[in-house]
Amino acid sequence: MRRRGNGTIQPWRVLKTQLAFDNRWAKVRQDECELPNGEVVPDYYYWEGGDFAQIFALTPDNEVVLTRQYKHGVKEIVTELPAGLIDSQETPIGAAKRELEEETGYRATEWVPLGQLNVSSAKATTRANAFFAKNARKTAEPTLDSTEEIEVLLVAIDELLDLISRGTVKDAGSVATTLLALKALKMKI
């Protein structure tokens, strides 16, 4: 790795912090920060919370389990890897297993953590916890909330890569988790 710069990047120091917007579904934090150069930023805003688990689940036939559903942030019907919020007092892998089963009805026999991803490092605290679920089989019907309507799709790995290239699968966390899983599998893309 070749580097330009003096290697002295330092974090900001938080002088004051408060939730500027706060309810059960959305929290925006406002920080007053002192930068390493002494400059003070009086009001830096970012989205707080919403950590989730994201699952690359592979069946014994080497098919990847995808979900297709409406998401109201982007207002699109999206095709993504299964994912869901980590409840309080739940571990990331516990959430991953629960969400895979609830959204798709699949259970896997082997779970490999693939690491954490930052969703938006400047504007959110949110982390995606990526997992590789091996030997995933359908064991039940999905159990959805009344606000959820989800289709389950099975695609070969090559087909998933084509869906990503064509922009059909365009959730950054899903695409990033796919790269991590393929790297773990030492697969060609």
Residues in 24-43 at the binding interface with a copy of itself, rule: CB under 8 A? 25-26, 28, 31, 33, 35-37, 39, 41, 43
Least distance between a copy of itself and beta carbon 15 (Å): 12
Residues in 69-128 at the binding interface with a copy of itself, rule: CB under 8 A? 69-78, 80, 115-128
Least distance between a copy of itself and beta carbon 97 (Å): 20
- Hey, what are 37's tokens? 């150069």
Least distance between a copy of itself and beta carbon 89 (Å): 21
Measure the CA–CA gap between 25 and 81, rounded to whole angstroms: 22
In the complex with a copy of itself, which residue's Cβ is closer, 16 or 21?
Answer: 21
Measure the CA–CA gap between 110 and 184, rounded to whole angstroms: 14
Residue count, binding to a copy of itself (CB under 8 A): 86
Least distance between a copy of itself and beta carbon 184 (Å): 8
Detail the DSSP E strand segments found in 12-118.
13-22, 27-34, 40-47, 52-57, 63-71, 76-80, 83-85, 106-107, 110-118
Helix (H, G, I), strand (E, B) or coil at 185: helix
Could you give phi then psi for residue 33, rounded to 5 degrees?
-125, 145
- Hey, what are 140's tokens? 């039940």
Residues in 8-27 at the binding interface with a copy of itself, rule: CB under 8 A? 9-12, 20-21, 23, 25-26
In the complex with a copy of itself, which residue's Cβ is closer, 54 or 108?
Answer: 54
Are 137 and 107 a contacting pair, CB within 8 Å? yes
Residues in 121-180 at the binding interface with a copy of itself, rule: CB under 8 A? 121-128, 146-147, 149-155, 159, 161, 164-165, 167, 170-173, 175-176, 178-180
Least distance between a copy of itself and beta carbon 68 (Å): 6
In the complex with a copy of itself, which residue's Cβ is closer, 134 or 170?
Answer: 170
Radius of gyration of the chain (CA): 19
CA 101: distance to chain centroid? 17
Q: Which of 80, 99, 73 is nearest to 171 (CA)?
A: 80
